[in-house]
Amino acid sequence: MLNLTMPQVLTFWLQRHFLEDRTTPDQLHTVVSRICGLHAQVMSSAELAAHARIDGLGSAALSTALWQERSLVKIWAMRWTLHLFSAADFPTYVAAFGSFRHFHSETWLKSVSLTPDDMNALLEAFSVTLTADGLTREQLAAALAQNAGRPHLRDKLLGGWGTLLKPGAYQGHLLFGPNSGQNVTFVNPRHWLGDFPRHETHDAWLEIIRRYLAAYGPATPADFATWWGTSRANARKLFKALDAELTPVAVDNREAWALHADAAALQSIQPVQTVRLLPGFDPYTLGLRREYETALPFAHKGRVFRQQGWISAVVLVGGAVVGVWNYEVKKGRAAITVQPFQSLSRTVQAGIEQEAARLGSYFDAEPVVIYAG
């Protein structure tokens, strides 16, 4: 068994996330693909997550890729949250989403006051309602209720956080479209992107686990289950199906799995002390192993993974979280407030100043670093 330390693993992550050596704007789609999507509940965080990995990336780059080039897509995804994916990867992810069946369960239907017939009619309506011309949520709710022949669904579709729209996304009938004023819109993937191949769900799952391990490995089935939002039993089955491509490793004496293809890189890796400022909801942070003190001090978990699913912006040193930060841009000044978990060396502070300078350039504002207790 290959024996590794958590600092080695974190350095591997930094490299795979383009955080050790940043890349160039023409590699935006490669970055999004390699890290298995950008979390996009807050679009400004997605923009900063891309900027953290790409030198010279403009603030309009994601918007251009989404709405003009259509080379990125926005959709509800793992953990039932919004993500951006490469359009080239979308067929793989949507094939895996097709295995989501929770919205057919009696418990889930009861929670939203629907019958099984209501849900079947709604899914059928999704398949024929959307085109490449974006519909606002209000327009979509009215059209779906009419096409389903169930007028009472209109008000339900307008309530909540897209609860009744997500099944349409998971069945491959819905993507986010460009905003219409202050309103989001929705489009049909096959009209918006053009026709794309249909993948088998099982094959798609295995490909996603390969990608996950390439960016977030070594990992256990439980780690994947948490990251994706599936059961541990399902994750164990999927890891078992990929057994021929996996190798067992021990990370600080805890067993995990890595891709055979990454074993040599993991074995030879030397920990680094690279300093990075990552925004809230960054994919790297979302993938962290919370049970490793060397990755995130136990006493400070609650400052990173906060109530109501909020994920803080973090300071990384060598891939480990050493503090949190926030920013405010006002009157040409970008105030970057850092709250370290412990005293920081001059070398780390110099690294933070360099990161702040990049953010200042991005915001076209004068950066000022403030250290707070």
The residues, any chain, with a CB within 8 Å of residue 178's CB and separated by 6 or more, are: 66, 67, 134, 185
Q: How far is CA 194 from CA 131, 140, 268, 359, in A?
A: 11, 21, 44, 37
Bridge partners for 3 per DSSP? 250
Angle formed at CA 164 by CA 143 and CA 84, multiple of 5 degrees:
100
CA dist 219 and 213 (Å) reads: 7
Give the pLDDT score at 135: 97
pLDDT per residue over 206-264, tens digit each? 999 999 999 999 999 999 999 999 999 999 999 999 999 999 999 999 999 999 999 99
Beta-strand relationship, 135-136 and 175-180: unpaired
Tokens matching residue 98:
């097709």
pTM for the model stands at 0.95
What pLDDT score was predicted for residue 159? 83
Preceding omega of 25 cis (within 30 degrees of 0): no
Q: How confident is the model at residue 309, as a pLDDT? A: 87
pLDDT tens digits, residue range 102-151? 999 999 999 999 999 999 999 999 999 999 999 999 999 999 999 999 99
Q: Strand ranges (DSSP E) for 23-81?
A: 38-39, 72-76
Distance CA 183, CA 172 (A): 22
In whole angstroms, what is the distance from residue 287 CA to residue 281 CA?
A: 10
Residue 308: what pLDDT?
Answer: 86
Q: In what order do the strands lie in the sheet with 2-4?
A: 2-4, 246-251, 254-259
Phi, psi of 241 (to 5 degrees): -65, -25
pLDDT at position 290 is 87
Residues of the chain with pLDDT under 70: none
- Interatomic CA distance for residues 247 and 256, integer angstroms: 9
Lookup result for tokens 């002390």: 273
Output the pLDDT for position 373.
76
